[in-house]
C-alpha cells in the first residue's frame, strides 16, 4: 500500500511540474520603455505581446510594427520586417533588456511589464 501511495505522489508531482512548464515560452501583455526626447518630453515605446505575435508601438501610436517572437531560456528574439533583436528577460518576466542592436531596438533599451 505504501508503494502505491509513493508512486501516486510521484506521479502527481511529475504532473504538476509538467503543467507548470506549459506556456512558459509565451509572453502576454505590454512591456513599456519610457524615455525623454530632445525637447524634454516623456516618450513611451511599447512591445505588445499576444500569443506568438509582437507589436512595436511608438509614442501615442505614432507607428506600429508587427512581428513574431520566440523565447529560449531567458532570451527573447523579436523579428520585425526582417530584422531580429534579442533581449534578456528577467526571471520574474517583468523586465526585458536589449544589450545590442541590429537597427530595430536601440542598445541598452529596457522595457518593463505594465501592470493592468
Entry pTM? 0.75
* H helices present in the chain, as ranges: 2-21
Of the two residues 3 and 31, the one the predictor is more confident about is 31
State the pLDDT at residue 13: 53
State the pLDDT at residue 60: 87
What whole-number distance in Å separates Cα of residue 80 and Cα of residue 101? 13
Q: What is the pLDDT of residues 24-77, one digit of tens each?
A: 588 999 999 999 888 999 999 999 999 989 999 999 899 999 999 999 999 999
Amino acid at each position: 500500500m505504501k508503494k502505491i501511495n509513493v508512486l501516486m505522489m510521484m506521479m502527481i508531482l511529475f504532473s504538476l511540474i509538467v503543467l507548470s512548464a506549459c506556456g512558459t515560452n509565451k509572453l502576454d501583455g505590454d512591456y513599456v520603455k519610457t524615455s525623454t526626447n530632445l525637447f524634454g518630453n516623456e516618450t513611451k515605446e511599447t512591445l505588445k505581446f499576444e500569443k506568438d505575435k509582437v507589436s512595436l508601438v511608438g509614442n501615442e501610436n505614432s507607428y506600429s510594427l508587427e512581428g513574431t517572437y520566440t523565447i529560449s531560456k531567458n532570451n527573447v528574439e523579436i523579428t520585425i520586417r526582417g530584422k531580429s533583436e534579442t533581449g534578456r528577460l528577467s526571471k520574474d518576466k517583468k523586465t526585458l533588456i536589449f544589450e545590442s542592436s541590429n537597427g530595430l531596438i536601440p542598445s541598452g533599451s529596457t522595457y518593463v511589464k505594465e501592470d493592468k
